[in-house]
Amino acid sequence: MRRRRGPGVLPSAPGTVRTAPHGATPQQRPEYALLCPHRYTADLLISRGIPDRCGVIVVSDIQRVPADVPVIVLHDADTEGCLLAGRTREALPGRLVVDAGLSPRTVMKAMGLKGVKAVPRAEPPSAGVLRLLRDGGTLTEPELDLLARGDGFPLAAMPPAKLPAAVTRVIERITVEVERERKRGDEAVGFLTWPGTNGAAP
């Protein structure tokens, strides 16, 4: 059976999710690009009206990010996810890239909640990947230990009833922080908190 598209989803090429606010003309540009490599999560956010409310375009591939807009990176708490923001900065030099993904420390903090468990990979990451993660300088030793075991947690496994609201809060916080980040010249990390926990991720 053919899958129905969510509200606001337009036909798109592979690797991209395109959206348009209700009543908007094609010439109108989004304020931000939300890079989310997982189609299920991207479709969920679109169907809940995130692009309309937050002025973003949701894309699942770096090559589809519009020119000259800040990029918000949403990713899993695993080795690939933790490297995605850095790879995005390399692919888009000079662009403001905000890492708003699910961090290992957020998952570790949420493990006390009922039903929240790390998900093991088939194989632990290679020594080269671990070196890249360590060289990034944003992960703690406990986070690196978790990733070295091959553990992580997919963004899509967060409660679907709460994930859109959590992402909306993330984007709202980022819109306030963007100007500060531009003045400081660095990037914000750890915006996304687990639904049901208090405060920001440590």
Asked if the model's pLDDT at residue 199 lies above 60, the reply is no
Distances (CA, A) of 113 to 110, 155, 194: 6, 16, 10
Asked if the model's pLDDT at residue 190 lies above 70, the reply is no
* pLDDT tens digits for range 151-169: 888 888 787 888 888 888 8
* pLDDT tens digits for range 103-160: 888 878 877 655 566 667 767 888 889 899 898 878 889 888 888 888 888 888 787 8
What integer best gives the mean pLDDT of the chain? Answer: 74
Planar angle of CA 66, 68, 72, nearest 5 degrees: 70
Task: Report the predicted TM-score, pTM, of the whole model to 2 decimal places.
Answer: 0.71
Give the span between the Cα atoms of 101 and 78, in whole angstroms: 10
- Cβ atoms 15, 62 nearer than 8 A: no
Number of H helices, E strands in the chain: 7, 8
DSSP letter for each residue of 52-77: HHHTEEEESSGGGPPTTS-EEE---B
* DSSP state for residue 16 in the 8-state scheme: B
CATH T-level assignment (fold) for domain 9-184: Dna Topoisomerase Vi A Subunit; Chain: A, domain 2 (3.40.1360)
